[in-house]
Amino acid sequence: MNILCLFVAAIMLLTGPIQAEEVSTLPKSIESVNGSVEVSGQWVVTSRLNSTAPLLAQLNAVKIVCHQAQGICHEAVAALYTKEDAPQLRRQFLNALFSEYKITRWDSSGITAISAKPVADVEIQIDLKAGTARRRHQETKSRGNQTANPGLIVVWELK
């Protein structure tokens, strides 16, 4: 399935410039089964403080799998960067991101998990009752990165 997705994306890249409205992703889905939660859809920016540069392309697809027993969530994001994301780009490019999050809360209402990177904390919150998910990125100097800007915060919602 993953190879098919990459093949389709490669064909789309070869056919010329792509606009956001020309690409679709699988519909939003949040499912809980036997101590695991699977989330898929697309991240859409809802709030951006002190930054104009995209941390994720507008054209993206996300899959998150959380395992209660292991206490971790894995997030896979496919992102297609275009001139809509950064006008200085000479051509669009496809990127794949994979992150691991430590679960800090898992109860009947949902999950909170965090990935503490050297320059930023990225947190995922999954609300099982409301059927929503959000992703929050905030830079931090707490792990020695003095160029980080703690005022840089970006929030995405799963669509």
CB 135 within 8 A of CB 155: yes
> What percent of the chain is modeled with pLDDT above 90?
53
| Host domain of residue 70 | 2-158
CB 77 within 8 A of CB 86: no
Q: What is the DSSP string of the chain?
A: -HHHHHHHHHHHHHT----GGG---PPPEEEEETTEEEEEE-EEEEEEES--S-SS-SEEEEEEEEETTTTEEEEEEEEEE-TTT-TT-SS-EEEEEEEEEEEEEEETTEEEEEEE-SSEEEEEEEETTTTEEEEEEEE-STTS-TT--TT-EEEEEE-
Query: What pLDDT is attached to residue 11?
Result: 47
Has residue 86 got a pLDDT over 90? no
**Cα–Cα nearest to 73, from 43, 118, 21, 110:** 110
Report pTM.
0.80
Q: How many structural domains does the chain have?
A: 1
Has residue 17 got a pLDDT over 80? no
Query: What pLDDT is attached to residue 119?
Result: 79
**Cα–Cα nearest to 74, from 25, 35, 113, 45:** 113
**Cα–Cα nearest to 116, from 148, 94, 85:** 148
Lowest mean pLDDT among 23-37, 118-132, 142-156: 142-156
Query: What pLDDT is attached to residue 26?
Result: 80
